[in-house]
Amino acid sequence: MPRPLSATVHLDSMRHNLARVRACTPGAKVWGVVKANAYGHGLEHALRGFADADGLALIETEGAVRLRELGWTRPLLLLEGIFEPADTALLDQYGLNSAVHCVEQIAMLEQARFSRPIDVHLKMNTGMNRLGFRPDQFAHAWQRLRAIAAVREITLMTHFANADELEHPRLSVREQVRRFCAGADGIDGPRSLSNSGGVLHQAELAADLSNDWVRPGIMLYGGTPGGNTADHFGLRPTMTLASEIIGIQEIGAGETVGYGSRFEATEPMRIGVVACGYADGYPRHAPHGTPVIVDGVRTRLVGRVSMDMMTVDLSGLAGARVGSKVVLWGAGLPVDEVADAAGTIGYELMCAVAPRVRMMEADLENHG
Ligand SMILES: *Cc1c(COP(=O)(O)O)cnc(C)c1O
């Protein structure tokens, strides 16, 4: 029998979350963001779960090639664009859309030979100060792209720094939209601004923000960019990381558990050993008390997470035994809640699920 740890990807929840995106932003086309191996879910699963997306967007050129080889025929967008001149051949061969965020990339496109038209997303830096042209350089960049014969459609794009917190005191979404509109003034073309945070707050932003293409990532996976819970937004978890109890220790008051002996029992208790550790992607810095589900009941992590195992409190779980089912996150335990306890975000936990974790697919709707 293989080690009992697995990550189950729920295709029905992926479809549900994609439908939530469409309900939040009616009329906008949707790039399903599948970078980082579809936030840890695997590109094959994402391809099936997001079969209804208008396009898929990612960072990795090899991932884009793989999606084509797996049969994805709709648009694919490289969110960081290309990295060297030779990549222009990939755009051409696989029909990829590319972000363009710097003059070096424009020069690569100017010097490339294309056998078919190419669509690009021209990126504006509206305050994130990561990638993109500043608003006052944007029109010039656009003109250079427009002059390239092979360039067909130029979508105008920016990225929000604080879409999870609409009234952010340092840089609000509305301020970024204002800068975007100023930089894009007089330039025609589709617009793409919103990530998950922008999509989830579209109703409040309706007066200021519209998109031809939205670019949700985390919400498609049932996580949230922060602020409210997935449940509040009507999103469902798309990944359940589950394992089993593989050992039990009965310890007395004053005994300690695990490396560093950081947890000390104050009374006799049962400790369950779970087959899941930091080499599987579970955060090593998760503290005592981080929620875990055993046999459908919430309990807590105790002691330090080790490479292959972690230890949980089985007090009050008299029926728990070797073989009891454990849920680390997913159905019944939002990844954001575990992330919060561990001082990180759901994005990081899902992306970190290690290659040695068996990936399985579930589809409650038996679609197709
Ligand atoms: C990752 C990414 C997204 C998706 O962000 P979420 O917060 O996961 O919705 C959108 N646009 C760009 C450019 C990205 O890199």
How many A from CA of 32 to the centre of ligand 1?
9
User: What pLDDT was estimated at residue 1?
Assistant: 87
What are the backbone angles phi and psi of residue 70, rounded to the nearest 5°?
A: -80, -5
What residue's CA is closest to ligand 1, atom 14? 79
**Ligand 1 within 6 A of CB of 192:** no
User: What pLDDT was estimated at residue 366?
Assistant: 67
How many A from CA of 216 to the centre of ligand 1?
6
102 and 197 belong to one structural domain: yes
Enclosing domain of residue 110: 11-221
What is the rounded distance in angstroms from the CA atom of residue 275 to the CA atom of residue 350?
A: 18
pTM to 2 decimals?
0.97
Mean pLDDT by 10 residues, the chain (368 residues): 96 98 98 98 98 98 98 98 98 98 98 98 98 98 98 98 95 98 98 98 96 98 93 97 98 97 96 98 98 98 98 96 98 96 97 97 78
Number of domains in the chain: 2
From the alpha carbon of 219, which atom of ligand 1 is closest? 9
The verdict on residue 344 lying in a domain is: yes
What is the rounded distance in angstroms from the CA atom of residue 286 to the CA atom of residue 84?
A: 39
**Ligand 1 within 6 A of CB of 118:** no
The verdict on residue 124 lying in a domain is: yes
Final residue of a domain: which of 186, 221, 256? 221
User: What pLDDT was estimated at residue 365?
Assistant: 81
User: What pLDDT was estimated at residue 227?
Assistant: 84
110 and 216 belong to one structural domain: yes
**Domain at 61, CATH number:** 3.20.20.10
Is 199 exposed, middle or buried, given 0-12, 13-18 or 19+ CB atoms closer than 10 A? buried
36 and 147 belong to one structural domain: yes
259 and 135 belong to one structural domain: no
The verdict on residue 1 lying in a domain is: no
User: What pLDDT was estimated at residue 39?
Assistant: 98
Catalytic residue at 259?
yes
From the alpha carbon of 347, which atom of ligand 1 is closest? 8
163 and 22 belong to one structural domain: yes
**DSSP-derived pairing of the beta strands 191-192 and 239-251:** unpaired
213 and 285 belong to one structural domain: no
**Ligand 1 within 6 A of CB of 24:** no
Residue 74: helix, strand or coil by DSSP?
coil
From the alpha carbon of 79, which atom of ligand 1 is closest? 13
